[in-house]
Structure 1
């Protein structure tokens, strides 16, 4: 048994925010309340001054396993997740081989079960991410795929896209889309603007994202499919999602901490560590993303955890891969960039990082109440810590050296301590 004593329980499902004890037996919460009796065999965690919340869920991670495990593998990815307060993650399908078949899906699921957290896997939409032929969506759904995505590559064939939407709707599973039209990008990873001009780099215009978001929002409205616009970066795209929701489309959107914390100026300071797909854009775009978070247009915060080796990131801008390792800094950046400036409350942040992603992926969201799974994070909301090492294999983050609030003390998954800091 495990007793968490005197923490500030923030439960986004029941909208509870109060000081209480939480008793765990086995893999479940069995009791909550004030001054609970301590069983003789119970381990006690003193959570005085700390927040106790449902374990976080990251609906967009790359664990690079199988095939690219020099960057990350399922074990190290899960360790990074646990250190960041996450008890559930959804892995993207762009591994080698691609998760477009039952064998590779099963490989990830079985390996994920050996980690201390819940590792879910999204299947590809098209075979080999080639955008030409749909996977066997029904078989993959039956085998436990969380949803479908060709993340990393946009789906350009509208006829195929509509077929995918119709099938996913029939299966009751969501689709997630990477929205960048390659025909409208000179060079990826940096916003086509003043910084790209300054460094002599082609850049990726907002239009590359905007046209894809407009198309997919309208097709989602047409088909009734449940669709997520991944890692939204453009002020126009935020407006398009807002409109689609108003029209009644089942459209959702993700924002990453790097997109609501940094702008294109970060490229000048951090170089390839600030190269992202889609890119960091202007302060106007950043503020539009924050406004979208505030009004519910953007309903999930995800990391797009994209680990790369130091050697890869040391290459010139045009050759370096895009993305950052994000699991271990996500909660802290949510507090730093959104809660502390007063844009949203800590309760709102827990909805964005726990309740909403779970509901999008057709799961019962985590709650701090009796009979709920004992998946919890315990952290100091205002407690400062420095980003100086990583549980991930990768260290490709512009946030290295930053001092941030929100130190994670414990991550508990299925009643067991997955991380203690």
Structure 2
């Protein structure tokens, strides 16, 4: 089975070479979109079926924590902002921590939050409220990044003192009441690299940038001003975290969202601790395709991953449920994905059914393939993992997975009604 750039559970031994292009016969028998590709301006040379399908859905309901609205980091530099500024995120269909990650707070969960910040959370480090992107550079080879992290006293108690420390200091840029204090790294022109503290009242937003060449680096001032404008707008009229959705001619059906499925009643029993309001989400940034063994027909897919558990900003100290959902255009694609993935990693039948079909991985090759519950519901494939670096660094045994993940998977499958 061949998946683009690093599928979550698949070992290299099961990846087949070549992307494969559908023939007219297989194309006509497949759902609209399967095997098709589209081009996007500025993504010349991209190999995914659609390198830029992401769109955002706004969420007018602000989250409150500690009695005050949360200013979501991704609302200070959103996907929509980047698009309007002509900044392109690197296309990659399989969720990963570098390409696009959103850590944000939601309105439920009684578990405590724990910050590592001594002053305020830095965008290039650990943060409870953070958004980071890996960008597509002009030549398609250089790694460029943008990140924003927000600290407010309700969940980063030292933020108020950090903000007060900037009182009387001359800012690099001022925009109304918003002040930006920039610290550049020593890089050759026209590159731009550095970190800035964007301050408004007792809120500090850390803005980190590493931009190469005249293309994205030339837009740095506009990007920084957009962060400042958005901070003021969010302070005046806070809104909640947006939904990352997709619009693509090669994937014309709705995509399943994993984060809403990780409710406290699902997470808490599985991790043995109260679920916190902290959610960590990694959406794929392109439409991918997969060719299964002994076939030539590509199946287009979209994947998102979400994790929720205890409230540490350090993922290695956190105990969480991680759920990846891969949406296909047909049940056939999802069936073959589950069959091939489970077959390649020692899939064992679950003691109780989950969804339409289910297996537990027993392959000891990786924590990502040992004790992971994979199941299907319609055209959607679900992979559920207990992420517990300290307690289960090598993954779960079959018995542990059955106990911890089986009931959680059943609740997820029962609550998911399709899209």
TM-score, normalising length: structure 2: 0.25
- Tell which structure's C-alpha radius of gyration is larger: 2
Higher helix share: 1
